Structure 1
Amino acid sequence: MPIPASVRALVRATPTIVRLQNRAIISISGSQAAEFLNGLLSTAVTTQPLRSFYSSFLHAQGRVICDVFVHAMRDDKSQPAYLIEYDATAPTDAPSLLPMLKRHVLRSKVRVRDASYEYDVWAAWGNDAITTNPRRWTRTQGGTIEPLWDSWPWGPDSGALIDRRADGMGLRRLVRKGDRPQETSTHDEGVLGDYLLHRIIHGVPEGVADIPPMQAFPMESNLDVMGALDFRKGCYVGQELTVRTYHTGVIRKRVLPVLIHPPPSHTSHPLRDGQPHLQFMPGLDIRASRTHAPAEGRVARPRGTGNLLSTVKEVGLALLRLEHVEGLERGDLKFELLGGEVDASGNGHDTQWLVTPWWPDWWPKGVEEEQSTSATNV
């Protein structure tokens, strides 16, 4: 399933930089900051050398609390310190990150505080000067996929973090509140919707809308593929179920980019006809239905549904059952979405839409199968 031609037309062709107003910052400092984070994050925290990276916080039952970028630095005593960048959108039924981290401090020599008023987060992409190291992939029998890095993937520069969640994502930079990063002199400044479109086209889920706190499982949210999970590090919160899934579980769902379009019977399409782009609420059910009657006998309707996540300009991310995606690739199934549409007079009504997923260009191909069933340290 290659990227649809109508979606390629939406891609910005010029280098772009966007300030991400929805991101918040938590400062973790103190002589035991590295040990403190290493016991909570799903990836290892190293101090020799001190490096930035992408990771996540998990609940004890293995569900995701939030995905984060960890920006490493030195404090005024040359000790390791960290700025945790996360989605500031308030979750509905999950603990907020700052109080949760403070509850884990106990007697650790760690200071945890909100630093959102000190820093701005910027994302930049489209610069060919950003070089990235190649990676290989390994896959377990259950479908977990890991990137194999030949060197540290997230960049050596303490001022910028190369976004290796997907090829082509660019970089992220923290700057002091009110300052402007160096890329603003060479990039067009976009808006938050440009960044949302950029990561949707690359198939990158992020934040509360795409990785619902206390609901999403890490591998279904592609955290394994994006390098946010370390299945070989020591104990951390949520490790037991995550490692068990890695060794004995089966990944049945994945987040994929999708195009939302009307059935062929419709005479118009917003992407083609210059009409205002439609808005779809996250959480809508995506149902799989058969494209033709079975050759003989009755066949049960495909079980389960998918869920729509973030959307912009009729493209979005969706959590889909892999068995349904395989059926669509064979031509046996189609995805349908019943979504609200607002007409020119402001009246709303439900409309049936088709949903077409695609595999991002960077998605792992030719991965090596890893034969592993033994348990690691839990």
Structure 2
Amino acid sequence: MILQHLLKAPSLAPVPHRALVSVTGSQSSEFLNGLLSTSFQGKPLNRFSSILHAQGRVMYDVFLYGTDNGYLLEYDSRPSEAPSLISYFKRHVLRSKVKVRSVTEEYDIWASWGSEKDHGWETDRKWHWAKSGAIEPAWETNDWPWGTEDLVLRDRRGVGMGRRLLVKKGDRPPEAATHDILSADAYLEHRISRGVAEGVKDIPPMQAFPIDSNLDIMGGLDFRKGCYVGQELTVRTYHTGVIRKRISPVKLVDEHGEAVEAASVLENAEIKPATKDDAFRRPRGTGKLLSSTKDVGLALLRLEHISAVRNGTVQLQIDVESRKINVVPFWPDWWPDLQHDNLSDA
């Protein structure tokens, strides 16, 4: 299923609820390498990554922008169960030659997509598969996948996501002259349509597992990297576990297949599977609606339920007072195939 209202024109939108931390100093790369789930190679470079708890659950999904003497880390600043990122970093600095400070008041964060400049560097996606169901992008490019431009990051979490821009507080990006300026809600709709989870609503800190949250598909995990916080459980899952859940984009429709534009009031709603033949036992487990807007959202679902919906044997539903809303998952065209042998019946 492809969203008919997917925005394709060159577009620019602010990204709300984001904060920035500066990590500088001669040992900034070594310092972050011990805390983040992706590897550091050579000079500071842009990238997407995550910070995990010692038990392997996600605390923050982050963007890193390389600077001359360190990094700027962008993260969701809304209150959560996770410790403050600055206090967490300062707890680990010890004697490292590293300086940590907030620079949130110095920059605004924007997303840009739809123009040649926003996607001309895209390449066809290829994947590394693990028997567990973990999936990694295989970057087939001589360029650094996330780009090397100052304060501009290629958003490779999903094809079509465009670029991430840091702009001095109060200014507008140069793209404002050539792109339609849209709202933060338009960015949310764009992100959902590409199947990209982000921030505390989609990846609840101290609760979400990184692979369930698609951090592997989005390039935010390195399973071959040496020791970092949360590495043991993540790598064990990669080699010996079985991935049973994933975040998927979904459409919300009524019993007639018409769009239900009430997604925002349904966030965190429980999604229950129901067989189309009452003679069969109800499938086990439930799902959960995460970020949503209009008639679309992201939902954490069991892979067996997604497969059953595609096979026509199960419906996923949210109970709302006296009616039921059908939840229809769709697999974005850039994603690895859900029916791959390593994922089917996971």
Provide the TM-score with structure 2 as the length reference. 0.93
Aligned partners of 1:327, 1:315: CA distance in 2, in Å?
20
Alignment equivalent of 1:124, drawn from 85, 106, 112? 112
In the TM superposition, what is the alpha-carbon distance from 1:198 to its structure 2 partner?
A: 0.2
Contact 1:121/1:174 (8 A) holds in 2: yes
Q: Which residue of 2 aligns with 1:11?
A: 6
Q: Which residue of 1 aligns with 2:313?
A: 332
Aligned partners of 2:128, 2:192: CA distance in 1, in Å?
24
In structure 2, the CA distance between the partners of 1:100 and 1:62, relative to structure 1 (3 Å rule), is same
Alignment equivalent of 2:103, drawn from 115, 129, 133? 115
Aligned partners of 1:31, 1:71: CA distance in 2, in Å?
16
**What are the superposed Cα offsets for residues 293-319 of structure 1, whole Å, 9 maximum, x if unpaired?**
45xxxx432111000000100100000
1:133 aligns with 2:123: yes
Aligned partners of 1:303, 1:365: CA distance in 2, in Å?
23
5+ long unaligned stretches in structure 1: 75-79, 272-276, 340-348, 371-378
In the TM superposition, what is the alpha-carbon distance from 1:327 to its structure 2 partner?
A: 1.1
**What are the superposed Cα offsets for residues 136-158 of structure 1, whole Å, 9 maximum, x if unpaired?**
10111110001011232111322
In the TM superposition, what is the alpha-carbon distance from 1:239 to its structure 2 partner?
A: 0.2
In structure 2, the CA distance between the partners of 1:202 and 1:278, relative to structure 1 (3 Å rule), is closer
- For residue 286 of structure 1, what is the amino acid of its counterpart? I
Q: Which residue of 1 aligns with 2:31?
A: 36
**What are the superposed Cα offsets for residues 77-136 of structure 1, whole Å, 9 maximum, x if unpaired?**
xxx310000011111x22121211111111111111111001111100011233223331
Alignment equivalent of 1:225, drawn from 217, 222, 246? 217
Higher Cα radius of gyration: 1
1:145 aligns with 2:135: yes
In the TM superposition, what is the alpha-carbon distance from 1:229 to its structure 2 partner?
A: 0.2
Q: Describe the SS at the equivalent of 2:284.
A: coil
In the TM superposition, what is the alpha-carbon distance from 1:369 to its structure 2 partner?
A: 8.2
In structure 2, the CA distance between the partners of 1:314 and 1:369, relative to structure 1 (3 Å rule), is closer
Q: Which residue of 2 aligns with 1:87?
A: 76
Q: Which residue of 2 aligns with 1:258?
A: 250
Q: Which residue of 2 aligns with 1:344?
A: none
Runs of 4+ that moved beyond 2 A: 268-271, 277-282, 365-370
Contact 1:139/1:369 (8 A) holds in 2: no
In structure 2, the CA distance between the partners of 1:366 and 1:359, relative to structure 1 (3 Å rule), is closer
1:158 aligns with 2:150: yes
Aligned partners of 2:322, 2:88: CA distance in 1, in Å?
40
In the TM superposition, what is the alpha-carbon distance from 1:49 to its structure 2 partner?
A: 3.8
**What are the superposed Cα offsets for residues 32-74 of structure 1, whole Å, 9 maximum, x if unpaired?**
111000000000122x243100000000000000100000111
Alignment of 1:326-365 (within 5 A): 326-339=307-320, 349=321, 351-365=323-337
Alignment equivalent of 1:282, drawn from 251, 267, 271? 267
In structure 2, the CA distance between the partners of 1:153 and 1:269, relative to structure 1 (3 Å rule), is closer
Contact 2:44/2:70 (8 A) holds in 1: no
- For residue 174 of structure 2, what is the amino acid of its counterpart? Q
Q: Which residue of 1 aligns with 2:300?
A: 319
Percentage identity across paired residues of the two chains: 50
**What are the superposed Cα offsets for residues 220-263 of structure 1, whole Å, 9 maximum, x if unpaired?**
00000000000111110000000000000000000000011111
Q: Describe the SS at the equivalent of 1:172.
A: strand
Contact 1:201/1:360 (8 A) holds in 2: yes
Q: Describe the SS at the equivalent of 1:219.
A: coil
Residues matched between the structures, number: 338
Contact 2:34/2:227 (8 A) holds in 1: yes
Provide the TM-score with structure 1 as the length reference. 0.85
Aligned partners of 2:191, 2:166: CA distance in 1, in Å?
19
Q: Which residue of 2 aligns with 1:274?
A: none
Contact 1:137/1:367 (8 A) holds in 2: no
Greater shift in the superposed pair: 172-181 or 225-234: 172-181
Aligned partners of 2:338, 2:265: CA distance in 1, in Å?
35
1:303 aligns with 2:273: no
